[in-house]
Chains A and B, each alone.
Chain A
Amino acid sequence: MKAAILRERSGALLLVSPVLVFMAVFFLWPLWAMVTAAFVDDAVSKVLPRTAASIVSWDGQGIPSEAAHKALVQDLRVATDEQALGEAVRRLNSAASGFRTLLGRTIPAVKAASDPAQVDLLTVDPRWKDTRFWVALKEAMPPYTDRNILAAVDMKRDGSGSIVLEGADASAHRLIMLRTLLVAAMVTIACAVIGLPYAMLAASLTGWKRSVLLLAVVLPLWTSLLVRTAAWFILLQNEGLINGALQAIGLINSPLPLIFNRLGVVIAMTHVLLPFMVLPIYSVILGIPGNLMSAAQSMGAGPVRAFWRVLLPLSLPGILSGSLLVFMVAIGYYITPALLGGANDQMISSVIAFYATGTANWGLAGALGLILLVVTTVLYTIYGRFSTSPQVPGA
């Protein structure tokens, strides 16, 4: 009997293991790679290991000792991996501007010298007398950094190493996170305000009327997200159907600005996410016994009171799980704000995409991505408690 269980178990393991390996390698590992990109900062110490060992003891005053110079010369002479060296130069240049040209002159001179012991950095380039570059070099050496995660929340370490707020003009990550939460909240509220009465209406109807209402919710779900976004682009533009219709009936004289602003983003996102609000509420309302409302009314409660005291509290689980779902998906949205929003409507995903694909700053992209990932995971965990059958959309 035991052997049979063991056989069944190993058979099941054999079936699950391919996907387990696949997901571990191509899902968990990439996420881990993103997290480590935010914290690992070994581009410089990997290329200049001797310098790293030697410069540790330097106190940051003046310039380091002769030994550190020798170590740097030695490291630069043996550095053959062009790509790694380029990474290191880029990292150093972002810490102290001018480092690129400084190394651009130093590296060929060091490599051309016949005897490394004879190379004097200060004669190769007098800028090596500048403490600034040596400080940048020393600070780039520790293999781990909290620079990215601090920058992600608009903070940094000052000269003495204590954490301070970034200047107001420097970057605006907090503003963008706040905006992301705001837009997601607006979309969630809009979805709830439309979704609750719609789900109630659908549940109260029967026959083809109910089918039409449900089909209208499901059909957009089946339609490509890109098609829906393109459709809203066409509807909302200045010469689009909505402005055209409003002008034709004489309500407005000049087109309303509906696109490339917050309004357009919220309208389109509400359209895309409304099904995720309607479906959970609808399934909860269907489970409420129909005679409860009539019972409440027979006992003297008006329709408003019956709704407020009976139907609303009972449908609350559906509203909550729908809201969580909509909010969770909305904070990670990229395509719709990117295509329908203006410069002031870009959410955190756009910023992450900008750092990763635009400037190849994977450290900062990873740190911001980590924050988004943590928030989403927390929301999903709460959502999992509310809903027994998680049905989750692809965003």
Chain B
Amino acid sequence: MFRALQITFGIAIVIFLLMPIFAILPLAFTSSVFLNYPIPAYSMRWMHELTTADVWRTSIVNSLIIGSGATVLATVLGTLASLGMRKGALPMVSLLRTLFLLPMVVPAVVLGVGMQIFLVRLGLASTYLGVTIAHSVLCIPFVIVSVSAALQGIDPSIERAASSLGAPPVTVFRRVTLPLAIPGVVSGAIFAFATSLDEVVLTLFVAGPNQRTLARQMFSSIRENINPTVAAAALLLIIGTLCLGGLAALLRWRQKRSALMTAPSAI
């Protein structure tokens, strides 16, 4: 009796968690103008709309431009910072780490208001550069978390072995540390890109009509006049994030495997 109750509860919550994601996907291929079930007939109409209508196409392009810019910026800065904080040579490292992770905590609207005031003063409001910078502030914590974890997984004795064999510090870094850290850097970059792709609130505050991203366009479309293009865009985003997530999982798996191979004592 108790067991049956447990199973029912578990299934109910799994359905609650997964149903929304699976319910929206088929609607990308509806032929109707309404986002309703049952779907009268399947068609590519809304996928076509998504890729050809000007607002949607530009928003996809904008998302890719801003996402790549923010990813590069955040990955470079975040990786450098993680390397700097690694050895604990700096005083107050935990304070620095907290500061760098704060953008995850501060409510997006609060940061948005500050960013808007600040970028208007700099003359960067409603520019690609301004939006890219705003996004990278949110992306940096993800890069730092991911790269720091990868660096932490490196056995210091490998590096010590390399330098005891006569490799200068630069060579140790280039030939030992960096190759071992690369999976962490790449998965940090993936997290950064996914974060930028999904960012709405900061974009609302700092972007002009020319920098409308896909997420921003979905937001106003749901708000003003929802139609199945939103479902098509959602499908695109889900496929995109699943590919990115799969890539990150693959990297983590390979990282684990290579860590096991290089440091058998760590098992």
Residues of A within 8 A of B (CB): 5, 8-9, 11-20, 22-23, 26-27, 29-34, 37, 194, 197-198, 201, 212-213, 216-217, 219-220, 222-235, 237, 239-241, 244, 271, 274, 303, 328, 331-332, 334-335, 338-339, 349, 352-353, 356-357, 362, 365-366, 369, 372-373, 376-377, 380, 384, 390, 392-395
Contacts and interface: CB of A to CB of B under 8 A. Distances in A.
B184 interface: no
Given A14-B84, A37-B117, A349-B109, 5 more contacts: A12-B84, A27-B111, A226-B222, A231-B23, A357-B204
Given A241-B37, A369-B110, A373-B106, A226 B100 contact: no
B164 interface: no
B20 to A, nearest CB: 3
A220 B242 contact: no
Contacts, number: 243
Given A23-B100, A198-B13, A226-B237, A31 B106 contact: yes
Nearest to A200: B6
20 contacts: A5-B89, A14-B84, A16-B80, A17-B84, A19-B80, A20-B81, A26-B118, A31-B111, A223-B237, A224-B198, A226-B200, A227-B237, A230-B230, A233-B35, A332-B108, A353-B204, A357-B116, A365-B113, A366-B114, A376-B106
Given A240-B36, A393-B104, A15 B121 contact: no
B205 A356 contact: yes
Nearest to A379: B105
In which size bucket is the chain B interface? Answer: 35 or more
A234 B24 contact: yes
A32 B106 CA distance: 13
A226 B90 contact: no
Interface string B213-231: 0010011001100100011
B34 A239 contact: yes
Contacts of A352: 109-110, 113
Contact of A235 (B19, B90, B100): B19
A335 to B, nearest CB: 6
Contacts of A34: 110, 113-114, 117
Nearest to B216: A226
A224 B238 contact: yes
Interface string B116-132: 11110100000000000
Contacts of A366: 113-114, 117
Contact of B10 (A213, A227, A395): A213
Most chain B beta-carbon neighbours within 10 Å: one of A5, A234, A240: A234
A226 B77 contact: no
A392 B103 CA distance: 10
B150 interface: no
Given A213-B14, A224-B197, A356-B205, A372 B107 contact: yes
B109 A235 contact: no
B27 A234 contact: yes
B200 A13 contact: no
Contacts of B197: 224
Contacts of B35: 233-234, 237
A369 B113 contact: yes
A240 B20 CA distance: 11
Interface stretch (B54-62, B133-141, B153-161): B133-141
A200 B218 CA distance: 37
Most chain B beta-carbon neighbours within 10 Å: one of A18, A27, A377: A27
B20 A271 contact: yes
B102 A234 contact: no
B182 interface: no
Contacts of B189: none
A380 B103 CA distance: 12
Contacts of A226: 198, 200, 215, 218-219, 222, 234, 237
A116 B143 CA distance: 62
A389 B242 CA distance: 26
Contacts of B103: 27
